Amino acid sequence: MEATIERMGAGGDGIAAGPLYVPRALPGELVRVRVIGQRGDGRAAVVEEVLASSPERVPPPCPHFGERCGGCAVQHWAPAAQAAWKRARLVEALARAGFPDAPIAATVTTPPGRRRRTDLALRRTAHGVTLGFHVGGSGEVVDLATCTVLDPRIVALFAPLKVLLRGLGALRREGSAVVNLLDTGPDLLLRTDGPLAPSERAALAHFAQEAGLPRIAWARRDGAAEVAAQLGPVGITLSGVRVAPPPGAFLQASPEGEAAIVAAVLAALPPRLPGRGRIADLHAGLGTLSIPLAARGRVTAFEGEAAAVAALAAAAGASGLPVSATRRDLARQPLTPAELAGFAAVVLDPPHGGAPEQAALLARAPLPLVVYVSCNPAALARDGRAFAQAGWRVASATPIDQFVHSAQMEAVVAFVR
């Protein structure tokens, strides 16, 4: 059948009347499609032929884009159009939250080839090991030979890592490889579905030596990670402070993305904080925001992961920063309005699902400013509603695209009384 694409969906699919969801199609295009099944409230289709293409269609830079690699959704769309789309998604999210007239900046877009963190799927097959990203909405893994969004130093590990994994009995059927590119080199966390034999630990140590990896950690499925081989120290510099992250630690996707988020958060703060300048950083992780916030006031950092808390505490202690790192599971035990009293500002950087309970308590707390760092427009729309209902306003909002060519986006939103 033929269909005219009316708009771009939140996942990067073109949407026609019906609705009909068509990956790799752009708004305004006339396409011949083949319907392949149901999808939510409509039907899913694939493009057979583009009959009238959009002027915004560009050649995708990566050869794997045509293989339905789930790492990217909109490589075929001009960069300016992607930036406008992501800004429009933030406009929509804040309007749904109750802020239809929020001041929203232009999208800050980070360059490709700079992603320093990735989670690669592993699959043993009859022909060896497949390493790559899942096909969107599928368990199938696209075997990657290259990637235009990842840092080339991570891409360089693809081929030797496949050779290593072919001989690793701990990978029986499937697993994952989390790679963080630190200042000290790539930091690898392998998750496998079988136990790691002593001889395989020796193989990992040899691979680390050959590939220039200071550390390889291992875990069985979703269990706790343990260091399988370590040849040297690991570290990354966050806003000028050295931090030693645990295996598989969360990092912002790129150095430029981190810098854009930090800049937007600091710009949302007044030059001089009222009171004694106390700042709470919720879901602080390794201190990506706590460390630069310490230049503005005394920071209390709340984080649920014990290893991240220990890493931040050690870094703050070594550098003399006024940062106090506290372990607390904010999903199970959010901070109450009474506990929040006395802070001059709160920064909230929740996981992808957002923080509905904590947002509701923040909106009720005696606070002048909450800076919400979001990686999910839907969660932002839901959590932001609590601030709208409590009479807050949006002072500034900045969309940040550090997951270029994907449907993912970041935003930094300042809520004020």
* Number of C-beta neighbours around residue 341 at 10 A: 10
Q: Determine the Cα–Cα distance for residues 201 and 206; give it in Å rounded to an integer.
A: 9
Q: Determine the Cα–Cα distance for residues 260 and 399; give it in Å rounded to an integer.
A: 10
* 174 beta partners: 123
Q: Which pairs from 6-11 meet CB under 8 Å and 24+ separation?
A: 8/74, 8/85, 10/89, 10/377, 10/378, 10/407, 11/73, 11/136, 11/407
The active-site residue out of 62, 69, 147, 375 is: 375
In this structure, what DSSP letter does residue 335 have? P
Note the helical H segments in 157-305: 158-166, 198-211, 255-268, 290-293
Would you tell me the crossing angle of helices 158-166 and 198-211 to the nearest 10 degrees? 160
- CB neighbour list of residue 241: distance below 8 Å, 6 or more residues apart: 287, 291, 315, 316, 319, 321
Q: Determine the Cα–Cα distance for residues 64 and 146; give it in Å rounded to an integer.
A: 8
**Which among 270, 268, 275, 266 has a CA at the least distance from the CA of 294?**
266
- Virtual CA dihedral for 172, 152, 156, 57, nearest 10 degrees? 70
Q: Determine the Cα–Cα distance for residues 187 and 213; give it in Å rounded to an integer.
A: 6
Catalytic, 69? Answer: no
Length of the chain: 417
Q: Determine the Cα–Cα distance for residues 39 and 37; give it in Å rounded to an integer.
A: 7
Strands 14-16 and 20-22: antiparallel
Note the helical H segments in 98-175: 152-155, 158-166
Q: Which residues are marked as active site?
A: 375
